Structure 1
Amino acid sequence: MSSRRRRLLRSLLPFVLLTLGSAYALASWNWCGRWTERPPVVLGQARAEGAWRAGAAKVPLKPPYPVVVAGYAPPRPEASQADPAPQARAVVLAAGDVKVGLVSLELLLVPDELVAAVRQRTAGLGLRGVVVTATHSHSSFGGYDARWVSQLAGTGRFREDALEAAVAGACEALRQAAARLTEVSLEVGESKDPVLVRSRAGGEIPDGALTRAVLRGAEGPVAELLVFAAHPTVVPRQRAVVDPDWPGRLSQLREEKGGVVLVLQGTVGNVSVSYGQGEGAALALSFAQAVSGLAERAVPVPVAGSTRLGFARVEVALPRPDASRLVPSYSRAAGDNFLCASASRTAEVGALALGPLELLLLPGEPTVGVGALLAPRTGATRVLGLADGYVGYVETPEKVRTNEGEGRRQYFGPTLLERLGSGAELAARAAGFTP
């Protein structure tokens, strides 16, 4: 290197250091500000008793190909086809003059913007409540979440047309389901196989429980709700094909018997590493077949004497985001700012009562430990995740404080569960859960 170039570099060094220092100071400034703490607020509630009616539909989602395959950190492949195609599946439940819509999308998650758009566009259907859930398929399409942290961590670069594809599919499924209401009976069954699932991140061990609710009409099943928890990460992350993983295959298998089948994620577990043979799509099908067999063993029993339908949704104030477990200490403030820019200051917790089935709805990924705390606290028979928004993992306060389990990945501090839990209690009471 010539002496002239060395002198030039030495002269530029102070400016470079000043620029870096200024950038660090700017990123470390407290852009989050103060986050208001307030009691939870009921946003909507409805209760009714009487003969049940239900309608169901499924509609293919039409991603704007080529589209990013979501579910993992970069680099992400782009897909120009799907195999099998991701779906939107909906059921509209009715009793008396109360109608509630439930739509399940074969996507990684459902952000607030998506949920709000679906509710706005289906306002004319006369639904007292609309619940939007995701199957959490890690190999479906992305691009529909505008939040920075989601774009970086899972869904890829935001595209309006990707969001529109998800919203349009959900709305059309709800419209078709609402137009097909017919009298139904309710049947509920449960079964369990711990071999199918394992714990995530060293947390509590899932019990492999499956809840099966069948809404049966005069000509056969109208809809089937399957509550089961196992991360859909079976399909390889670098496969350049949109794929709904095992939940999509499970719904297809069950629908051969009639009706529309919605797969709802419970408190999180992983597909067992000791289960099944093969890999990728073949293993996803094999796992779906095993869960379908588990559903068959959950022999549904007709529900007699309980014809209630209850629904409530509650808004809670979220705690300030906390990146202390996610980034090095020297970049803590910058990490907090990044999370703040991606986080809503509120979240929604819901409750749905269908006869004896009382479902608590959380906007994230509650762990097994969280479910064990919230179920007795609210009276819920099952705790569901990935519903009506996404706040990331929800772990017990103890594990967040000690940086264990999914606490290592939680976007908020240890007070998150208490905020959501207070809202859950209020939602459960408003929906008429049995104490």
Structure 2
Amino acid sequence: MNVNTKKSTRRYTYSAVVLFLLLLTACVVRPLDRTPYRETDYYEETIDDLSESPAVVSHGDTVQVGWAKVNITPPTGTPLAGYGKRLGMEYEEVHDSTWARTFAFSNGKTEAYYVALDLLIVPMEVLQELEKMYPKLGLQPEQVYLTATHSHTSFGGWGKKLGIKFMSGKYDEELVEKLATQVVQSIQLARQNLQPTKIGYGSTSAASLVRNRLLKDEDNPFYNDRLSSRDTKLRFLKFERPDGTTAVLSVFAAHPTILPSDAPELSRDYPGVLVDELEERVGFTSFSAGAVGSHSAVYLDGDTYESTQKVGGQLAKLLREELIHVPTQYVSTLGYGRVPLELPDPQWRISKGIRLAPFLFNGLFGEHPAYVTSLQVGNVVLLGAPADYSGEFVAQLEQQAQAQGQQAVVTSFNGGYIGYITPDKYYNLDEYETRSMNFFGPYSGSYLTEIMLRQLQQHKR
């Protein structure tokens, strides 16, 4: 082979390699899509879904309330969920057990349920199992409002896809089926316990116990907003029966991430302390994570059980002090809703303007339905987000509710998961919440919040 032929062969090989790399790059990355969400098909489809599946609101007899809890603690050797760096680590002992805590509501015309699970999220696989079981209970999925405590030291084993296994350990089909069965059991027990019950809403400031961790660094351009950009209220519903029995449904927006990731122990973190201490004074208590996106607990004694004890204990004290001042009354209004949240193609970024191709994201995490959910009891409307939803949005929702003569309470992790949802202005920050955990693009916050506002408006009296 002469020199010219060799040079020609090398040029051809080089060109072929370059072409292959360009084609490969074109397959695995895409430019970021910044189309305003109101100009998209997915937005229009969700608006249509809202019209076609409006919230159900009925005015019947006095609302009866029941409550029950079921222990959902799996055996030791089950993986923990909450931190990828654990690499599926299994827990070796139980510090405090995990539960499904359920409220049942009925006004004679319809019924609805509120379920709080001591888990990182309400797993998508568990939701799928539950939806197979609801018909046997005579229920539609929208009648069951799902929430989680978001403890990062609760159990995993409920995620099939690689990206979810990274956070929750090896998938266990038997565990998922059993967990769904236990949720159904809690619904049945709460239903059997229905009684006429007075209901009241209360809240108290817990500003010293929550911070906005997204704005923690002084070089952050939004650092000066760190105090005002928080949801600081500890909210609760008070249930009171004629015999004096009292129950509490509580919600707070601070991540239960106090305990260390390397300890092989199962725990509910500070929500467990809050619930246990309240149940020393009242008959039944549940806790759910509020709008915890970018919100974390403030604690001084390190990642220890002393810290969980102090945070949970202070919250319980604040709630007890406010509880005695909250009036209750019989109500007759009961409502619920669930609207499918249509989504854009995933926009999981690898740089400021470049994202991975959607098929790669879907291959890692799967394609799961997402919903905005709602539950109305009297003049209180609970709104459920399929995400780590930021507490910075709560003021908008509360303002709308107050204009309707109502109270709004926001919870996260309702059976779907679309990542962290933070205000659009933070999108270009190079932070965990806004880069690694923003899955669906620069307008996710405005989009989801608008749909939640519209869902809330369907509960207008």
| TM-score normalised over the length of structure 1 | 0.85
Mean CA deviation greater in 393-402 or 244-253: 393-402
Give CA deviations for 1:236-273 in whole Å, capped at 9, x if unaligned.
1111111111112221221222322111221222111x
Cα distance in 2 for residues equivalent to 1:410 and 1:425? 21
Q: Which residue of 1 aligns with 2:321?
A: 297
Q: Which residue of 1 aligns with 2:361?
A: 339
Cα distance in 2 for residues equivalent to 1:271 and 1:402? 22
Unaligned runs of 5+ in 2: 1-12, 31-39, 216-225
Q: What is the aligned counterpart of 1:93 among 96, 101, 105? A: 105
Q: Which residue of 2 aligns with 1:266?
A: 290
Is the 1:86–1:244 contact (alpha carbons within 8 Å) kept by the matching residues of 2? yes
Q: What is the aligned counterpart of 2:58 among 45, 48, 55? A: 48
Structure 1 position 104, deviation (Å):
0.8
Letter paired with 1:396 = P
Change (3 A) 1:358 1:241: same
Q: What is the aligned counterpart of 1:169 among 174, 179, 182? A: 182
Letter paired with 1:323 = W
Cα distance in 1 for residues equivalent to 2:397 and 2:430? 21
Is the 1:35–1:345 contact (alpha carbons within 8 Å) kept by the matching residues of 2? no
Q: Which residue of 2 aligns with 1:399?
A: 426
Cα distance in 2 for residues equivalent to 1:207 and 1:376? 13
Query: Could you say what secondary structure the match of 1:298 adopts?
Result: helix
Q: Which residue of 2 aligns with 1:376?
A: 399
Is the 1:210–1:227 contact (alpha carbons within 8 Å) kept by the matching residues of 2? yes
Query: Could you say what secondary structure the match of 2:146 adopts?
Result: strand
Is the 2:145–2:374 contact (alpha carbons within 8 Å) kept by the matching residues of 1? no
Q: Which residue of 2 aligns with 1:433?
A: 460
Is the 2:145–2:375 contact (alpha carbons within 8 Å) kept by the matching residues of 1? no
Structure 1 position 278, deviation (Å):
6.0
* Alignment map for 1:93-132 (pairs within 5 Å): 93-127=105-139, 129-132=143-146
Is the 2:382–2:411 contact (alpha carbons within 8 Å) kept by the matching residues of 1? yes
Mean CA deviation greater in 256-265 or 308-317: 256-265
Q: Which residue of 2 aligns with 1:66?
A: 77
Aligned residues: 412
Structure 1 position 314, deviation (Å):
0.8
Structure 1 position 119, deviation (Å):
3.5
Is the 1:236–1:280 contact (alpha carbons within 8 Å) kept by the matching residues of 2? yes
Q: Which residue of 2 aligns with 1:80?
A: 92
Structure 1 position 36, deviation (Å):
5.2
Q: Which residue of 2 aligns with 1:256?
A: 280
Unaligned runs of 5+ in 1: 1-12
1:145 aligns with 2:156: no
Cα distance in 1 for residues equivalent to 2:63 and 2:133? 25
1:159 aligns with 2:133: no
Structure 1 position 139, deviation (Å):
0.4
1:280 aligns with 2:291: no
Q: What is the aligned counterpart of 1:416 among 428, 435, 444? A: 444
Is the 1:54–1:222 contact (alpha carbons within 8 Å) kept by the matching residues of 2? no
Is the 1:69–1:78 contact (alpha carbons within 8 Å) kept by the matching residues of 2? yes
Is the 2:146–2:414 contact (alpha carbons within 8 Å) kept by the matching residues of 1? yes
Letter paired with 1:344 = E
Cα distance in 2 for residues equivalent to 1:401 and 1:377? 29
Cα distance in 2 for residues equivalent to 1:414 and 1:26? 22
1:206 aligns with 2:230: yes
1:314 aligns with 2:339: yes
Mean CA deviation greater in 129-138 or 380-389: 380-389
Q: What is the aligned counterpart of 1:348 among 371, 387, 410? A: 371
Is the 1:91–1:223 contact (alpha carbons within 8 Å) kept by the matching residues of 2? no
Q: What is the aligned counterpart of 2:258 among 234, 241, 244? A: 234
Give CA deviations for 1:335-366 in whole Å, capped at 9, x if unaligned.
x4332332536410012221222222111111
Is the 2:197–2:330 contact (alpha carbons within 8 Å) kept by the matching residues of 1? no
Is the 2:147–2:384 contact (alpha carbons within 8 Å) kept by the matching residues of 1? no
Structure 1 position 228, deviation (Å):
0.9
Cα distance in 2 for residues equivalent to 1:126 and 1:44? 20
CA RMSD of aligned residues (A): 3.1
